[in-house]
Amino acid sequence: MLAAMSLEIDHVTKRFGANLALDRLTFEVPKGAVFGFLGANGAGKTTTMRICLGILGADEGEARWDGSLTTDLPRRTWGYLPEERGLYPRMAVLDQLVYFASLYGVAPDKARKDAMGWLERFRIADYAPRRAEELSKGNQQKVQFIAAILHDPEVLLMDEPFTGLDPVNLVLLREAFLELRDRDRTLIFSTHQMEAAEALCESVAIVDHGRVVAGGTVSALKRASGRRTVRLGVEGEVAPVWVADIPGVRLVRPGAGHVELELDPGVEPSAVLAALVGRGVAVTHFELADPSLEAIFIEHVGRPADDDATLATAAAAALPAGGVA
């Protein structure tokens, strides 16, 4: 038994026919944390969330919150933001937010006031009387997020919460995450956007084929990787040929005006800088940094998080559709 006041996923196994979706999956999320649940499509993230909510049952193992089975707790303990759109398309935005909150016992007047506050914060108050189908995908996502939190759940589970959001709305949602964390709420989300996870999460679990392949604090994962990354500011674009013959150096993120190089153990950063300058590269910034969370993910999983090669079609077909409530 792990420590209380945490979400414990304890050796959870789930099969869909011949497909092993979760293989003794185990990790812990402390109360009040923002936790990233990272994996490629088909890795088992959605299945895990639905087991926590009681939508699916585990074949083996347990999911517990504060020492109790998650399925034994009041439903209002949880907020859930599914990846699928779960709004009523022809119902007014404010009306359905009040309705969803009422399912958890929130009084209509309070739900209406709180919902309008969140709509104003997310800059969509004018859409309150409009039908959900009239909103963009990004604005529908913001409405679904509001629906998931209006009853003030202790734990918020979110499946790809940043889908369809532009950079401005990403900032608004991240600010909301941090406010909820500061109110001692526990936030767990899956995402393909490693930069968002790195910016928000102290801890993550990287899952592949239903098993945790790496987990812990982001800082500890970076230290354990043994990798060193050089971030360069350059004038123009760095051509791969410029680093191809520098021993122990790989170009991992090319770009116009900036680039990342990965160094093998024993390679001196100063020697790399000298080699680049000797090749005529106009270096405007040089920084030795920890590897990115994306690089760590690829190290453990062997592919980017948005690679669809591992789609578990059998599991997806067996899962019930998720609603916003």
pLDDT of residue 96: 97
Q: Do residues 152 and 178 both lie within one domain?
A: yes
% pLDDT > 70, the chain: 89
For residue 43, CA distances in Å to 131, 181, 225 come to: 35, 26, 22
Q: What is the pLDDT of residues 134-166, one digit of tens each?
A: 999 999 999 999 999 999 999 999 999 998 889
Query: Band of the pLDDT at 1, cuts 50, 70, 90?
Result: very low
User: Is 193 among the domain residues?
Assistant: yes
Q: What is the pLDDT of residues 4-48, one digit of tens each?
A: 579 999 999 999 999 999 999 999 999 999 999 999 888 999 999
Q: What is the pLDDT of residues 161-204, one digit of tens each?
A: 998 889 999 999 999 999 999 999 999 999 888 888 999 999 99
User: Is 242 among the domain residues?
Assistant: yes
The more confidently predicted of residues 260 and 123 is: 123
Q: Taking a C-beta distance cutoff of 8 angstroms, is the pair 47, 57 a contact? A: no
Domain count, the chain: 2
Q: Do residues 199 and 246 both lie within one domain?
A: no
User: Is 10 among the domain residues?
Assistant: yes
Burial category of 136 from C-beta neighbours within 10 Å (exposed 0-12, middle 13-18, buried 19 and up): middle
Three-state DSSP state, 188? strand
For residue 273, CA distances in Å to 111, 276, 287 come to: 58, 5, 10
- Say which residue the tokens 């009422």 belong to: 102
Q: Do residues 173 and 239 both lie within one domain?
A: no
CATH of residue 11 = 3.40.50.300
Q: State which residues form the domain around 255.
A: 228-289
Asked whether the CA dihedral 274, 276, 279, 280 is positive or negative, the reply is negative
User: Is 294 among the domain residues?
Assistant: no
Nearest to 45 by CA among 130, 176, 157, 151: 157
Q: Do residues 201 and 260 both lie within one domain?
A: no
The strand ranges marked E within 95-146 are none
User: Is 1 among the domain residues?
Assistant: no
- The pLDDT mean for the chain works out to 88
Q: Do residues 179 and 262 both lie within one domain?
A: no
User: Is 295 among the domain residues?
Assistant: no
Q: Do residues 50 and 69 both lie within one domain?
A: yes
Q: Do residues 253 and 201 both lie within one domain?
A: no
User: Is 296 among the domain residues?
Assistant: no
Q: Do residues 165 and 90 both lie within one domain?
A: yes
Flag whether pLDDT at 235 surpasses 50. yes
Q: Do residues 247 and 131 both lie within one domain?
A: no
DSSP letter at 17 equals T
User: Is 67 among the domain residues?
Assistant: yes
Q: Do residues 61 and 124 both lie within one domain?
A: yes
Residue-wise DSSP of 207-274: EETTEEEEEEEHHHHHHHH--EEEEEEEEEE--THHHHTSTTEEEEE--EEEEEEEE-TT--HHHHHH
CATH of residue 255 = 3.30.70
Q: Do residues 308 and 260 both lie within one domain?
A: no
Q: Do residues 112 and 252 both lie within one domain?
A: no
pLDDT of residue 304: 63
